[in-house]
């Protein structure tokens, strides 16, 4: 944190993650969590494996009137909890929201037109977020299904790894399109089983985020998969990426949940065997697709 804080405060540059983008001069970086006391919008953007730890440290400093918003795209393994559910369990009296969509940071920093979803049961939170975060190049759309929006943001990382492997194996566009589409079917089937609205997955936080993350070389999960497809081990690929790839953890958690609930997810099952079971790809993307069900589209098990 200190290595990022100093250049941000002295030069308005995040030299580690966005070195070519000049940050607003009014932006101040701090490593003192008590500084959030005066904040009315608190966005949690930390990796899912440290989310609860950071929240625990932050709770005593949170303004009673603050809106709490999660931008973390992951799942807590213990209890299969999404980040907004952790916020609900650990805090009281706050409006809670989720922000998610096809949002590559580098493109946002270049003011390229981007859409995202602010999902919450609170219309007040949604309206205030639109006022604060909207711009000519960054548009917010509302959704009443925070659980589905958050699931979409977490699940698509699994299929981004699969598409990356396909690219690493020099598979064609047909193959990538097949993985995305079959992946969307798996995501929707899983989400419906968990109580989410299937229509959510037709929006920006579902198919929109899936397409962007699966197709873009800027996606960390796609990049990780591509390195695996080219023959690197998981450890070697992670070391080369050098940043958090939520898809690996999400894959494990979702595979366990799908097995427990009896949900058919062939790509998840095959990818789990490759990543955690150390099965060989044998130079074929067929290993990733696994044994698929014959139906094209359905939401049942």
Q: In the prediction, which pLDDT does 155 show? A: 96
2-18: average pLDDT? 88
* Residue 140 lies inside a defined structural domain of this protein: no
pLDDT over 70 (residue 94):
yes
Q: The tokens of 286 are what? A: 């067929």
Q: In the prediction, which pLDDT does 265 show? A: 93
The DSSP result for 179-233, as a single string, is: HHHHHHHHHHHHHHHTT--GGGGGSIIIIIHHHHHHH-TT-HHHHHHHHHHTT--
* Residue 185 lies inside a defined structural domain of this protein: yes
50-62: average pLDDT? 95
pLDDT over 70 (residue 294):
no
* Residue 32 lies inside a defined structural domain of this protein: no
* Residue 109 lies inside a defined structural domain of this protein: no
* Residue 171 lies inside a defined structural domain of this protein: yes
Domain membership of residue 236 as a residue range:
147-289
pTM beyond 0.95, yes or no = no
Q: Which residue has the tokens 């366990």?
A: 256
Q: In the prediction, which pLDDT does 301 show? A: 44
* Residue 243 lies inside a defined structural domain of this protein: yes
Rg of the chain over Cα atoms, rounded to whole angstroms, equals 19
95-102: average pLDDT? 97
Buried b (16+ CB within 10 A) or exposed e, 191-212: bbbeebbeebbebbbbbbbbbb
Q: In the prediction, which pLDDT does 99 show? A: 98
CATH number of the domain at 190, please: 1.10.1040.10
- Left, alpha or beta for 84 (phi > 0: left; psi -120 to 50: alpha)? alpha
* Residue 18 lies inside a defined structural domain of this protein: no
* Residue 190 lies inside a defined structural domain of this protein: yes
Q: Could you tell me where the beta strands, DSSP code E, fall in 113-169? A: 114-120, 138-143
Q: In the prediction, which pLDDT does 281 show? A: 81
| Given the residues 156, 226, 249, 257, the one annotated as active site | 156
Structural domain total, the chain: 1
Residue 113, exposed/middle/buried by CB under 10 A (0-12, 13-18, 19+)? exposed
**Residue from 289, 154, 288 nearest 229 by CA:** 288
Other C-beta atoms closer than 10 Å to the C-beta of 297 total: 9
Confidence of residue 292 (pLDDT cuts 50, 70, 90): low
Is 156 among the catalytic positions?
Answer: yes
Q: The tokens of 24 are what? A: 């607003």
Give Cα 226 to chain centroid, integer Å.
Answer: 18
What is the overall mean pLDDT for the chain?
Answer: 91
């Amino acid at each position: 944190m200190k290595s990022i804080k100093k250049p941000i405060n002295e030069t308005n540059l995040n030299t580690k993650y966005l070195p070519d983008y000049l940050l607003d001069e009014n932006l101040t970086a701090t490593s003192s969590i008590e500084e959030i006391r005066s904040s009315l919008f608190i966005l949690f953007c930390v990796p899912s494996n440290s989310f609860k730890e950071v929240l625990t440290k932050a709770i005593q400093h949170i303004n009673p009137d603050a809106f709490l918003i999660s931008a973390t795209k992951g799942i807590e393994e213990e209890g299969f909890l999404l980040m907004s559910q952790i916020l609900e369990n650990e805090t009281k009296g706050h409006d809670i929201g989720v922000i998610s969509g096809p949002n590559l940071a580098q493109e946002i920093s270049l003011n390229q037109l981007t859409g995202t979803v602010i999902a919450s049961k609170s219309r007040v939170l949604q309206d205030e977020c639109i006022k604060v975060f909207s711009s000519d190049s960054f548009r917010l759309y509302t959704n009443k299904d925070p659980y589905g929006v958050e699931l979409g943001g977490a699940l698509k990382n699994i299929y981004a790894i699969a598409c990356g492997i396909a690219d690493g194996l020099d598979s064609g566009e047909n193959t990538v399109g097949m993985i995305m589409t079959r992946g969307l079917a798996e995501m929707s089937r899983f989400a419906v089983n968990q109580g989410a609205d299937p229509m959510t997955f037709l929006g920006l936080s579902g198919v929109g985020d899936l397409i962007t993350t699966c197709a873009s070389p800027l996606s960390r999960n796609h990049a990780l998969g591509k390195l695996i497809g080219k023959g690197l081990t998981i450890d070697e690929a992670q070391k080369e990426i050098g940043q958090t790839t939520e898809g690996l953890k999400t894959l494990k958690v979702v595979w366990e949940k799908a097995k427990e609930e009896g949900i058919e997810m062939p790509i998840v099952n095959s990818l789990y065997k490759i990543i955690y079971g150390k099965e060989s790809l044998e130079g074929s993307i067929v290993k990733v697709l696994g044994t698929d069900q014959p139906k094209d589209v359905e939401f049942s098990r």
